[in-house]
Amino acid sequence: MDIRIERTNADQIKAVYSIMALAGEHMHRVLQLSHWHPFPGTERFIPRFEGHDIYGVYADDLLVGTFNVSTNPEPYYTDDMSAYWMDVKADATYFSGFALLPSHQQMGIGTQCMAFVDKTVREQINHRYVRFDAVANHSKLIHFYTRLGYEQRGELAVRNAAVMCFEKDLQKS
C-alpha cells in the first residue's frame, strides 16, 4: 500500500470532516468512547481548524485519514500548562484532529503519520516540542503514542472526558 501525506485544501474539508465523524462514530459504537460523539456539525467544526495546517492521509490515492498541526495550543488548554509541559514557554507545535478510517487502522499508517509530524516539526517548523492530547481511557491509543516516544505528561479534564497530555522533545529523539 502506498501512503501519501499532504496538506489539504478548502475543497477537501468536507471529506476530512466525514473521516473524523466516521472515526468518532466508530469509537462511540465499538470502543464505547464518547469524546467525539455526537460529532459537531460542520458549522462548528470548520472554524475550529482555521489557522491550522490540515493534512490528508492517502492510501493508494484514497483519502483514509487526517490530522492537523498548528503553532496555536488547543483552546481548552489552561492558561498555566506548566504542570503538563517540560518548558511551557518553548516553541512547540500542537498536533490534533487525528483520525483514520476504521478500515485502515492497525496497518502502520498511524506510525507513518506520527513520523511525518516529527520530521515536519523538526525540519520545517523548527520547533523543539510536539504536544497533543488523547482521550485518557483509550488504552490502545495511549500505548501507541508512548511506544512512539511521546511522554505522558498528565491528565487534563476537558468537557465530558479526561485527556492525557503528551509531549515529545525532538532534540532528544
Kindly state the DSSP code that residue 126 receives in the 8-state scheme. Answer: -
Instruction: With 0.85 as the threshold, say if the pTM is over it.
Output: yes
E-strand ranges in the chain read: 3-7, 53-59, 62-70, 92-100, 129-135, 151-158, 161-169
Give CA–CA dist 115/62, Å, rounded: 20
Query: Structural domain boundaries of the chain?
Result: 3-169
C-alpha cell at 48: 475550529
Per-residue confidence in pLDDT tens, the chain, 173 aa: 899 999 998 788 888 888 888 887 776 677 766 665 676 676 776 676 777 899 999 999 999 999 999 999 998 898 889 999 999 999 999 999 999 999 999 999 999 999 999 999 999 999 999 999 999 988 999 999 999 999 999 999 988 789 999 999 999 97
Lookup result for grid cell 513520523: 115
State the architecture of 3-169 in CATH terms: 3-Layer(aba) Sandwich (3.40)
